[in-house]
Amino acid sequence: MRYVVKRFLMLIPVLFVVTFASFYLISLLPGDPALAVLGPGATAEAIAQEHHELGLDKPITTRYVKYLDHVVHGNLGESSTTHQDVTTQLKTRLPVTLELLVLSQIIAFAVSVPLGILAARRPGSLLDKLSTSGAFGLLAIPSFMLGVLLVFLFAVKAQLLPAGGFTRLTQDPLTNLKDMILPSVTLGLGSVAVYLRVLRSDMITTLQQDYITMARAKGMSQRWILMRHAFRPSTFSLMTVAGLNIGALIGGALVVEQVFSLPGIGTMIVTAIYQRDYLTVQGGVLIAATGYVLVNFLVDLLYGVADPRVRVDRAR
Amino acid sequence: MPADNVTPVEAPDAGALAVGSGFGLGVETGQLPSDVIGSEPTAAPRRRLGWFFWVCVGWLALVIFGAIFASVLPIPAPNLQDAAPSAMPSIHHWLGTDSLGRDLFARVVVGARVSLVVGFGSIAIGVAVGGFMGLLAGFLGGRADTVLTALANVALAFPALILLLAVVAFLGANLFNITLTVGVLSIAPIFRVVRGATVAFADLEFVTAARGIGASRWRILFREIVPNVVPIVMSYSLVFVAVSILAEAALSYLGLSVADPTATWGKIVNGGQAYLATDPYICLWPSLALFLTVLALNLVGDRLRTLFDVREAKL
Amino acid sequence: MSRDYSRRQFLSGGLTTAAGLVLVGGGAGGLLTACGSSNSSSKPGGGSTSGQITGRSSATPRRGGTLRMGLESDFNSFSPATGQFDTAGLMYASTVFDTLMSLDAQGNPQPYLAQTMTPDAQKQVWTMTLRPGVVFHDNTPLTSAEVVNAIQAVQKAALTGPALLNLDTVKATDGMTVVFTCKSPWPAFPTYLCGQLGYVPTPKTLSDPKGGLHPVGTGPFVFEEWVPGSHFYANANKNYWRKGLPYVDRVEYNTMPDSTTRDNSLLAGTVDIIHSSDSISLHDVPGKPNIEYLTDADNNVGEPSMDMSMINCMDPVMSDIRVRQALAYSFNADLYQKVHNFGLYKTAYGLFPGNPTYASSTKLYPTFDLAKAKSLVQAYEAEKGKLKIQYSTTNSTRNAETAQFLQQQWGAAGIDVSIQQVEQVQLITNALLGKFQVTAWRQFAAPNPDANYVWWSIPTSAPIGQSSLNFARNRDQQVQDALQTGRTSLDEATRTAAYNTVNERFAKDLPYIFANRTTWGCYANKKVQNFNGLDLPGGQPALSFSGGLFYPMCTWLSA
């Protein structure tokens, strides 16, 4: 319990930093922030009202508190282009990004776990060497390159899968999955490399432990030892790394959405940047950063709860 | 988890992990450097670097040489549109030309400049600031350490790519802003690496011995600890450079990096994508250059890290 | 160069009435028709081996299914008063709204939501009776009140108002009759009601500040969802007043600014039909299995859309005519066609490329002459210092390529060109407010040149910082006089002479540096039928595919 409380206390300052950073972005804009927020062509009254709204004459802390209040009430302003609420935009786009993240992780684990276990079972075997160097190579391929390559192969040449576009899961699950295959694979492959390397080395270390030798001596089957004694403990490392990987994933999702024109948070942010739609960018940054912080917190919590040693250790 | 690792032994790992979480502009790459994973836990540490290491070093040297001396080398001007568009490789245009008739070889060579400036420029900032703070925190301990570590933890909790995009959106996309932002983003991870290594070395016998014979604190720091920390930081830094280069490439690809007509690898790929069906070479060459450079940086960094790993050093 | 292309056209159409765009029509059809126009839709179908078709089918329509489309952009609002309707915007709007008038194949306006449209002898007072039995999607009936409300909304709006400066009053005389009184004779007025200015949304759509996000109209499809920048979905209007239409159950529009993404999506079957004004589509897509296409290259109704560099004539630097001349002389348009457009498009000078009626004014346009450009730049720099300009374009890679082509060409004349890329909605906003020096642009399709009045006239120009439909802010009294003559004259020869004058003055003022005529293509999977086969309520064929607009309403999917 102390552990949970401590983690939670850590979370608070981080959330303050995240919200303050996204709040402060608007102040970085050159020129009149009200004009920037409203977009060119705003009327004089609208600008005056926005000045009042932004409270530019007030101290920064007052403005920040007001911003926090708005955020807590789900008011992130509206787009200067379409006048749509930023919150509404986030609501329609968040599920897309989340689906992409989840699917990519399913793919990543489905590929990396069996490969990692097999590689760890016989370090130095052909499979091990291939998967290890493959992982190293994957780490050097940016997601946009992989995406472009997959589009070229599977959409343009083979015409097996869509090159882009999106159908809602609720509308047509099958088409939705088809749309999501290439993007998820693109994003997932990057994680495969990371997870494979972690799992492999972690399990190799474990397999050298005394208790494994003991289990072997007791005549337990190789498969039992691998799964029960070696893989289970390694899931902790895997979880840790998966949590840490979220930051990279959010970044990757942004680019992958762009490559496949998926209507997620990433395309929203990039389009908004090109439209100089600052409140939308701000909202997107806030949600992505907060999401990242929260996921990390959850993984951390889970990790602590799952492994009693951590709980004690870290609470210290 | 970037948050509280307080035990010294854990620290270098934590630093490495932080890299992973921090950057990743879209590119999940070198982050999670292998020693989280402990790249070769079974094998005895390899002290030999191997021929492949030298191939990688050679490639990097070539890229850097080309980027620096492109303008005096006998290659066409990278922005000059005077050849037939989308030409195949030939004697005059070694890698062919792009859709505007610009020499692709020249553009790929020059395209390395932006990547290298962002990669090495940002790490210079990270090492200068983060390294200094890490040394202080690790060596002095106490309140300074607590405060700096807490700050680093908070900084690491912010997703880097998002911050980078935000800066580009609000301050404008140019080489200076991008390099500076990536540099600032690398401070916290570097801090953790340096702090962890410093703490680890501070406990080691030779340092204790030096203390025993009455060496001053500063002498211990600069004569005993810094020389041992530097190689570790350098090996980590190469991975950071790779990550930064990938980050810039992603921004370039999104059209949010330096202005046209300056060539960057990400931008050439983006521009060539329209011609993928008819002229895949435009995308191929910069992709290859980017891939090989990042691979080489990761490999060299990985090897060096295995060589200098603080835990092995302890053994 | 243009710019274009790609992007949104701009408003062009949009905007206003677009204007132009498509919209406009024809009043006099004749004017331009005389020259050259043929009605494009008359090309026999079937087509050549490469799969070019008419998009008009006489087979029995098949009902049902979802039509998935890939468009190059979207817009900022469905509300005709605030929306910057470009090509995609017009397609979106025509999905949920109907226009009062609509263009026929000759470019003449015909009643659509209106049942009749009758002028007085001077063509200054127009009396419209409405079609009975039309209901909005919320089941309220269409009456003259909604029409007057819609017209007054666009008349008052800052964006669209200038297009209707010549409209004095609009009044309902009874439940189904509306009288439009113009300030001068205006033969082409009905063409203005064929586009952005002629849509009739419910009053709430117009009055609610967020009404443009949830439009309610009388159109063939009922709004379901719009995620700006991504997609727009709508379902068939079961109670559509045109019995039997539409054929498909649902339409899905997907925004795909990148032309190759659009092409690839079509080839991969993600979408059924796309439009594109990028030559790369015409280069890559025809001949692919299972694909048919159609271009508007032969559609010569009125004035074509042009790809160009548009110049802000009120900008301190660009207001110097030597600078504009230098840009024109240093632009090698023929080379541009070869490099960027694969030789598929023809270089154009002036507003009426290939139209012999306007040959005399067309030949006044500057052609490539680098030495002349250099000396102009030197003369400018001797007096005012280093010549630096910014060129704006959209964030597509093909447009970035055009930008770099221009940068190199203008750079060769000694002009320092920087490139700014923004999203199309923003590009249009910047043009409206004069926040640009030179911008990629695509505009001016108009079956009747009067539809372009607002883009070129003095009353519609405004200083930098204020909304101006005369984006180039070229204020030339001779142009203004000619436009007025063209608008009010009932004599064809006089009108032709007037527009010849406009073309001639543009060759001198150089507010636009033309590259080529915009050629729009519509590319579709073979199962997509009749996407260009709309008939008007009166039975005559509607304007054939031009300016990127096709007709989902009459499209069906075979098997």
Is the minimum CB–CB distance between A133 and chain C shorter than 8 Å? no
Yes or no: say if C109 and C180 are a contact pair by the CB < 8 Å rule. no
Of residues B221 and C173, more confidence is placed in: C173
**Distance from the B152 Cα atom to the nearest Cα atom in chain A, whole angstroms:** 11
For residue C417, is pLDDT > 90? yes
For residue C290, is pLDDT > 50? yes
Most confident of B141-145, B215-219, B235-239, C93-97: C93-97
DSSP 3-state of B166: helix
Is the minimum CB–CB distance between B25 and chain A shorter than 8 Å? yes
How far apart (Å, rounded) are the C-alpha atoms in residues C427 and A158? 37
DSSP structure class, residue C552: G
C46-55, C215-224, C464-473: the lowest-pLDDT one:
C46-55
Tell me the chain C residues in contact with residue A89 when contact means C-beta distances shorter than 8 Å: 227-228
Most confident of B132-141, C155-164, C237-246, C442-451: C237-246
* Residue range C334-368, pLDDT digits in tens: 999 999 999 999 898 988 888 888 888 888 999 99
DSSP 3-state of C114: strand
Is the minimum CB–CB distance between C421 and chain A shorter than 8 Å? yes
Yes or no: say if C304 and C99 are a contact pair by the CB < 8 Å rule. no
B37/A198 touch (CB, cutoff 8 Å), yes or no: yes
A81/C267 touch (CB, cutoff 8 Å), yes or no: no
Query: β-strand C438-443 against C388-394: which pairing, if any?
Result: parallel
Is the minimum CB–CB distance between A47 and chain C shorter than 8 Å? no
Phi/psi at C367 (5° precision): -115, 170
For residue C245, is pLDDT > 80? yes
Yes or no: say if A79 and A279 are a contact pair by the CB < 8 Å rule. yes
C21-25, C192-196, C493-497: the lowest-pLDDT one:
C21-25
Which of B185, B199, B167, B175 is closest to B130 using CA atoms?
B185
* Residue range C369-394, pLDDT digits in tens: 999 999 999 999 999 999 999 999 98
For residue C395, is pLDDT > 50? yes
DSSP 3-state of A25: helix
C400/B271 touch (CB, cutoff 8 Å), yes or no: yes
Burial call C157-192: b when 16+ CB within 10 Å, e when fewer: bebbbbbbebbeebebeeebbbbbebeebbbbbbbb
Q: Which residue of A has its CA nearest to B161?
A: A251
Is the minimum CB–CB distance between A155 and chain B shorter than 8 Å? no
C269/A275 touch (CB, cutoff 8 Å), yes or no: no
Of B274, B276, B278, the CB nearest to C398: B274
Yes or no: say if C72 and C277 are a contact pair by the CB < 8 Å rule. yes
Is the minimum CB–CB distance between C401 and chain B shorter than 8 Å? yes
A194/B28 touch (CB, cutoff 8 Å), yes or no: yes
Tell me the chain A residues in contact with residue B32 when contact means C-beta distances shorter than 8 Å: 194, 197-198, 241, 244-245
How far apart (Å, rounded) are the C-alpha atoms in residues C234 and A278? 29
For residue A211, is pLDDT > 80? no
Is the minimum CB–CB distance between C390 and chain B shorter than 8 Å? no
Of B101, B260, B278, the CB nearest to C400: B260
Taking CA atoms, C535 is separated from C11, C518, C532, C544, in Å, by 26, 25, 9, 10
Token digits for C127?
């009396």
Of C210, C261, C423, the CB nearest to A271: C423
Is the minimum CB–CB distance between C243 and chain A shorter than 8 Å? no
Is the minimum CB–CB distance between C235 and chain A shorter than 8 Å? no
What pLDDT does residue C446 have? 82
C77/A179 touch (CB, cutoff 8 Å), yes or no: no
What pLDDT does residue C50 have? 62
**Distance from the B14 Cα atom to the nearest Cα atom in chain A, whole angstroms:** 10
Q: Which of A91, A150, A176, A261 to mutate to test the interface with C (most CBs of C within 10 A)?
A: A261
**Distance from the A188 Cα atom to the nearest Cα atom in chain C, whole angstroms:** 22
Residue whose entry in the numeric block shows the structure tokens 């703070």:
B133
For residue B172, is pLDDT > 80? yes
CA-based max dimension of chain B: 74
Yes or no: say if A49 and A43 are a contact pair by the CB < 8 Å rule. no
Yes or no: say if B301 and B242 are a contact pair by the CB < 8 Å rule. yes
Is the minimum CB–CB distance between C76 and chain A shorter than 8 Å? yes
Give chain B's mean pLDDT. 78
Tell me the chain B residues in contact with residue A194 when contact means C-beta distances shorter than 8 Å: 20, 28, 31-32
Of B30, B157, B169, the CB nearest to A139: B30
Tell me the chain A residues in contact with residue B161 when contact means C-beta distances shorter than 8 Å: 247-248, 250-251, 254
> Omega of the bond prior to B12 within 30 degrees of 0, cis?
no
Give mean pLDDT, residues C277-282. Answer: 91
What pLDDT does residue B35 have? 38
How far apart (Å, rounded) are the C-alpha atoms in residues C5 and C441? 7
Q: How confident is the model at residue C27 (pLDDT cuts 50, 70, 90)?
A: very low
Which of A233, A225, A287 is closest to A89 using CA atoms?
A287
Q: How far is CA C194 from the centre of its chain?
A: 12
Cβ-in-10-Å burial (0-12, 13-18, 19+) of A12 comes to exposed
Q: How far is CA A197 from the centre of its chain?
A: 20
Phi/psi at C68 (5° precision): -105, 125
How far apart (Å, rounded) are the C-alpha atoms in residues C168 and C184? 9
CA-based max dimension of chain A: 84
Is the minimum CB–CB distance between A196 and chain B shorter than 8 Å? no
How far apart (Å, rounded) are the C-alpha atoms in residues B9 and A265? 39
For residue B166, is pLDDT > 50? yes
**Chains A and B: how many Cβ contacts under 8 Å?**
232
B271/C401 touch (CB, cutoff 8 Å), yes or no: yes
Give mean pLDDT, residues C71-78. Answer: 89
A296/B165 touch (CB, cutoff 8 Å), yes or no: no
CB neighbours of residue C368 within 10 Å = 17
B158/A246 touch (CB, cutoff 8 Å), yes or no: no
Of A82, A163, A268, the CB nearest to C265: A163
* Residue range C476-505, pLDDT digits in tens: 999 999 999 998 888 889 989 999 999 999
Q: How confident is the model at residue A307 (pLDDT cuts 50, 70, 90)?
A: low
C430/A93 touch (CB, cutoff 8 Å), yes or no: no
What pLDDT does residue A309 have? 55
B31-40, C176-185, C204-213, C433-442: the lowest-pLDDT one:
B31-40
**Chains A and C: how many Cβ contacts under 8 Å?**
96
Which of C164, C178, C171 is closest to C118 using CA atoms?
C178
Is the minimum CB–CB distance between C400 and chain B shorter than 8 Å? yes
What pLDDT does residue B18 have? 32
B28/A193 touch (CB, cutoff 8 Å), yes or no: yes
Q: How far apart are the first and last CA of chain B?
A: 27
Tell me the chain A residues in contact with residue C231 when contact means C-beta distances shorter than 8 Å: 166, 263
For residue C1, is pLDDT > 60? no
> With pLDDT > 70 as the criterion, what percentage of chain C qualifies?
91
Yes or no: say if C548 and C541 are a contact pair by the CB < 8 Å rule. no
Q: Which residue of B has its CA nearest to A310?
A: B5
CB neighbours of residue C281 within 10 Å = 27
Which helix (H) or strand (E) segment holds residue C523: the answer is strand C521-525
Number of residues written out for chain A: 316
How far apart (Å, rounded) are the C-alpha atoms in residues C170 and C205? 20
Q: Which residues in chain C (452-471) have CB-CB distances under 8 A to chain A?
A: 467
Cβ-in-10-Å burial (0-12, 13-18, 19+) of C539 comes to exposed
For residue B3, is pLDDT > 50? no
How far apart (Å, rounded) are the C-alpha atoms in residues C448 and C34? 12
Is the minimum CB–CB distance between C410 and chain B shorter than 8 Å? no
The set of residues, in sequence order, having a beta carbon less than 8 Å from that of B58 and lying 6+ positions away, is none
How far apart (Å, rounded) are the C-alpha atoms in residues B117 and B128? 16
Q: Which residues in chain A (41-100) have CB-CB distances under 8 A to chain B?
A: none
Which amino acid is residue B247, in one-letter code?
Answer: A
Q: Which of B162, B174, B182, B253 to mutate to test the interface with A (most CBs of A within 10 A)?
A: B162
Q: Which residues in chain C (490-549) have CB-CB distances under 8 A to chain A?
A: none
Give chain A's mean pLDDT. 83
Geometric angle at alpha carbon B6, from B2 and B12, rounded to 5°? 65
A81/C426 touch (CB, cutoff 8 Å), yes or no: yes
**Distance from the A176 Cα atom to the nearest Cα atom in chain C, whole angstroms:** 11
How far apart (Å, rounded) are the C-alpha atoms in residues B281 and B289? 12
How far apart (Å, rounded) are the C-alpha atoms in residues C440 and C277? 14
Give mean pLDDT, residues A218-243. Answer: 77
Which amino acid is residue B304, in one-letter code?
Answer: L
Q: How confident is the model at residue B292 (pLDDT cuts 50, 70, 90)?
A: very high
For residue B16, is pLDDT > 80? no
> For the whole model, what pTM was predicted?
0.85
Which amino acid is residue B48, in one-letter code?
Answer: R
Yes or no: say if B34 and B15 are a contact pair by the CB < 8 Å rule. no
Tell me the chain B residues in contact with residue A299 when contact means C-beta distances shorter than 8 Å: 1
For residue C530, is pLDDT > 70? yes
Q: How confident is the model at residue A306 (pLDDT cuts 50, 70, 90)?
A: low
Yes or no: say if B309 and B45 are a contact pair by the CB < 8 Å rule. yes
C230/A166 touch (CB, cutoff 8 Å), yes or no: yes
The set of residues, in sequence order, having a beta carbon less than 8 Å from that of B191 and lying 6+ positions away, is B15, B130, B131, B133, B134, B137, B148, B152
B166/A281 touch (CB, cutoff 8 Å), yes or no: yes
